[in-house]
């Protein structure tokens, strides 16, 4: 099993097109939090370091690289159009698609329980790992290295037809819920980070009977709109 994973890591490295000077960075990016459950420690007796902090940074690196490419490729697009496209390119669904294409699942370190429950194919696990990998490349080779990996791995996402722009995604989501005979969607702030003058909100959008989805924004309203947009995109409505 260990040999199979080593082969998967080697293949992932080849597909990324980045040779890590410090392979431990990639190893951490591929380590799910479940590996550390039960106070598991590495060979040196230190607690296992998972990819959650890398995922935090990778999300920001990805946002910058997507925004940079949108500015470069669509010089006439307005902020609204670029924001809509950005949300579709940085959400967990897009990250998971990129991760699946790269073969991230077989290369990951998961607990036995998480692996048995399908963690190597789970969208949230793959999406988080892909963001963590971008952070690992950033730490290893800087922004230029991260940009090269991003340009290659997100090319298919940019080539895909952009999702139909929705001016008021919360209204569209509300209409969809009513058509399904469900209660109105609800939104819940699950995290608030950053300083008081530059906060970041993470909001969860919930439609009864449908898997909830979270998104971030610079205000609660922006995060709610982003979560509604991402949920509509995931359900194939836009």
* Residue that the structure tokens 């490349």 belong to: 137
Angle between the N-to-C axes of helices 92-102 and 79-90, in degrees from 0 to 180, rounded to the nearest 10: 50
- Do 32 and 129 meet the contact criterion of CB atoms below 8 Å apart? yes
Residue from 55, 91, 131, 140 carrying the catalytic annotation:
131
Residue from 55, 59, 140, 204 carrying the catalytic annotation:
59
Neighbours of 184 (CB within 10 A): 11
Tokens of 146: 């991260």
The 3-state DSSP class for residue 82 equals helix
Closest-CA residue to 138 (of 11, 238, 53, 38): 53
Closest-CA residue to 104 (of 142, 153, 168): 153
How far is it between the farthest Cα atoms of the chain?
57
Rounded to whole angstroms, the Cα distance separating 130 from 134 reads 6
**Active-site residue 11, yes or no?**
no
Rounded to whole angstroms, the Cα distance separating 180 from 127 reads 28
**Active-site residue 59, yes or no?**
yes
Annotated catalytic residues are 59, 131
């Amino acid at each position: 099993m260990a040999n199979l994973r080593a082969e998967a890591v080697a293949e992932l490295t080849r597909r990324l097109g980045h040779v890590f000077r410090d392979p431990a960075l990639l190893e951490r990016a591929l380590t799910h939090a479940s590996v550390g459950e039960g106070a598991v420690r590495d060979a040196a007796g230190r607690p296992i370091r998972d990819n959650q902090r890398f995922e935090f940074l990778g999300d920001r690196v990805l946002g910058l690289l997507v925004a940079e490419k949108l500015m470069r490729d669509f010089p006439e697009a307005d902020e609204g159009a670029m924001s809509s496209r950005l949300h579709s390119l940085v959400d967990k669904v897009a990250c998971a698609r990129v991760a699946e294409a790269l073969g991230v699942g077989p290369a990951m370190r998961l607990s036995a329980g998480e692996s048995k429950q399908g963690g190597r194919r789970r969208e949230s696990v793959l999406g988080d790992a892909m963001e963590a990998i971008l952070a690992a490349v950033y730490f290893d080779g800087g922004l230029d290295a991260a940009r090269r990996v991003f340009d290659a791995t997100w090319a298919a996402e940019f080539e895909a037809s952009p999702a139909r722009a929705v001016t008021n995604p919360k209204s569209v989501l509300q209409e969809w819920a009513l058509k399904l005979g469900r209660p109105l969607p609800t939104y819940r702030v699950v995290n608030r980070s950053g300083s008081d003058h530059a906060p970041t909100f993470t909001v969860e959008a919930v439609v009864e009977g449908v898997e909830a989805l979270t998104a971030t924004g610079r205000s609660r309203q922006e995060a709610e709109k982003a979560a509604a947009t991402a949920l509509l995109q995931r359900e194939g409505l836009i």
